[in-house]
């Protein structure tokens, strides 16, 4: 009897996987992933714009330091200022979208992002430049927070996780393509032309939303008034922050993103000053990091139902520790070059591609009634956490790859504790 029973169980799992891949049948009440293309496109565009603003000027940081006559460490303030605005603003954009609706809030944020991007073309002085980067980040925070809330409005459970894997893929594209484009722009035009490209992309996204984004979740007038009350907002955020179902996966996404942001803050000086790469050559190298992250996100999209979230998280953690360990071993052996730095980082990035999509999807899944606030607080913790990690990365030496490897291993150790905690929370182990 054991063999037929096993075959029946395997058949049920296979049928379930086929339903996951094809989407639910008509009349199920749960839309397939492809049923709301505008929400998915906005989710991808919001993430791409937000992360492009963070990464596009990485190849130009040495040029920025030269033009403003500041140190290399001070030039990284461009990343920190943007990340601060990007993260803190999401705490406001989320509740605003709950009250005023996703579409008008999204268009307001895009207008602010595009305007700040244009002003960055002409602003003079390093302090005003940082202020405009902060405002640009505030506008970008709307795209990330509101677009994810739009996804939670129309998807749940497996469809939400799968939709977030597409968002993670757009993050991967930004991770590699934004520095690549920034390097190309620095080669043929002043490095500030990066911001003109961002302004144009923001305007194009606004044009898409003005036509195709419809309101799905509408609040009654009394609910709208309560949604924007400061007391209710504070209580809502407090409930989320105290709940481990929210906090653990959010921290997994934060430290998973931190792996790439720490590398991104240090690597321009390694490659351009240490190895003699031009900005365009560094941008081309950065483009290769998109491949393993895309692969990790694609694995989540394809296999999350069959393998389960905890197994995928453990696989991602293993890749992170293996890549960081390899970087350390090569550094201790006296190796310090483009290959010894990049190849281990490709493995680390694969692990991040497995960790981050799951970490982003689960807080929204656990709190559907607080989708706006859940996405806002997730984005805040993710961006402010990575901004803090960038500030700490300023002290990492660029004369050897050992300090960077140790920093990545430390993040890997924290992720190991979080993945273990997640396994205890997840009843579907």
Contacts of 37 (CB under 8 A, 6+ apart): none
DSSP characters for 304-345? HHHH-HHHHHHHHHHHHHHHHHHHHHHHHTT--SHHHHHHHH
Asked if residue 301 has pLDDT above 60, the reply is yes
Q: Is 189 left (phi over 0), alpha (psi -120 to 50) or beta?
A: beta
**Per-residue pLDDT tens for 234-257?**
888 888 888 888 999 999 999 998
Structure confidence at residue 216 (pLDDT):
62
Determine the Cα–Cα distance for residues 53 and 142; give it in Å rounded to an integer: 13
Predicted confidence at residue 361, as pLDDT, reads 80
pLDDT of residue 218: 57
User: CA of 328: how far to CAs of 321, 341, 395, 416, in Å?
Assistant: 10, 10, 18, 18
Output the pLDDT for position 38: 80
Task: Report whether 97 contacts 372 (CB < 8 A).
Answer: yes
Whether 20 shows a pLDDT value over 50: the answer reads no
Return the DSSP state at 397: -
pLDDT at 205: 92
Gap between the Cα atoms of 55 and 310, Å rounded: 30
Once rounded to an integer, what is the mean pLDDT over residues 365-370?
70
Query: pLDDT digit string (tens) for 186-202?
Result: 888 888 999 999 999 99
Helix, strand, coil shares, percent, the chain, to 5: 85, 0, 15
Kindly state which CATH superfamily the domain 35-212+220-425 is placed in.
Answer: MFS general substrate transporter like domains (1.20.1250.20)
The CB density around residue 172, as the number of other CB atoms within 10 Å, is 28
pLDDT surpassing 50 at residue 8: no
Distance CA 388, CA 378 (A): 15
**Which residue is listed with tokens 């900005």?**
279
Pairwise CA distance, residues 59 & 103, whole Å? 34
The predicted structure's pLDDT at residue 406: 94
For 65, 95, 237, 373, the CA distances from 234, given in Å and listed in that order, are 40, 11, 5, 10
For residue 317, name the pLDDT band (cuts at 50, 70, 90).
Answer: very high
pLDDT in tens, 81-126: 998 898 889 888 888 887 788 889 999 999 999 999 999 999 989 9
> What's the confidence (pLDDT) of residue 87?
82
Do residues 389 and 262 lie in contact, with contact meaning Cβ atoms separated by under 8 Å?
A: yes
- What are the pLDDT digits (tens) for 24-72? 333 334 445 555 778 888 888 988 999 899 888 888 888 888 989 998 7
pLDDT at 19 exceeding the cut of 50: no
Question: Which pLDDT score, from 0 to 100, does residue 35 have?
Answer: 55
Give the C-alpha separation, 20 to 162, whole Å: 9
């Amino acid at each position: 009897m054991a063999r037929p029973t096993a075959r029946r169980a395997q058949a049920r799992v296979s049928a379930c996987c086929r339903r996951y891949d094809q989407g639910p049948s008509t009349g199920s009440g749960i839309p397939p992933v492809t049923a709301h293309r505008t929400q998915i496109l906005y989710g991808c565009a919001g993430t791409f714009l937000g992360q492009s603003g963070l990464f596009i000027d990485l190849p130009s940081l040495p040029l920025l330091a030269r033009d403003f006559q500041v140190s290399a460490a001070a030039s990284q303030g461009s990343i920190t200022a943007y990340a601060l605005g990007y993260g803190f603003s999401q705490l406001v954009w989320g509740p605003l979208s709950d009250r005023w609706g996703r579409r008008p809030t999204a268009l307001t944020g895009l207008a602010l992002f595009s305007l700040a991007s244009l002003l960055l073309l002409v602003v003079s002085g390093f302090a005003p430049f940082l202020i405009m980067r902060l405002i640009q980040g505030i506008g970008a925070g709307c795209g990330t927070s509101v677009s994810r809330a739009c996804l939670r409005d129309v998807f749940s459970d497996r469809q939400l996780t799968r939709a977030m894997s597409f968002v993670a893929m757009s993050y991967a594209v930004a991770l590699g393509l934004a520095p690549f484009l920034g390097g190309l722009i620095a080669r043929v035009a002043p490095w500030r032309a990066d911001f003109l490209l961002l302004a144009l992309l923001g305007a194009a996204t606004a044009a898409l939303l003005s036509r195709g984004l419809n309101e799905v979740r509408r609040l009654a007038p009394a609910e709208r008034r309560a949604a924007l009350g400061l007391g209710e907002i504070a209580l809502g955020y407090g409930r989320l922050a105290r709940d481990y179902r929210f906090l653990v996966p959010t921290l997994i996404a934060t430290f998973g993103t931190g792996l790439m942001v720490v590398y991104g803050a240090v690597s321009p000086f390694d490659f351009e000053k240490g190895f003699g790469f031009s900005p365009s050559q560094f941008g081309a190298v950065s483009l290769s990091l998109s491949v393993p992250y895309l692969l990790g996100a694609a694995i989540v999209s394809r296999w999350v139902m069959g393998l389960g979230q905890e197994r995928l998280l453990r696989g991602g953690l293993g890749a992170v520790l293996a890549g960081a360990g390899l970087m350390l071993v090569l550094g201790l052996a006296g190796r310090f070059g483009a290959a010894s730095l990049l190849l281990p980082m490709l493995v680390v990035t694969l692990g991040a591609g497995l960790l981050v999509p799951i970490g982003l999807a689960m807080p929204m899944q656990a709190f559907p009634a607080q989708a706006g606030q859940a996405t806002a607080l997730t984005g805040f913790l993710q961006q402010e956490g990575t901004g803090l990690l960038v500030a700490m990365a300023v002290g990492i030496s660029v004369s050897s790859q050992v300090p960077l490897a140790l920093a990545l291993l430390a993040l890997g150790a924290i992720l190991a504790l979080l993945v273990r905690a997640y396994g205890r929370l997840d009843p579907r182990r």
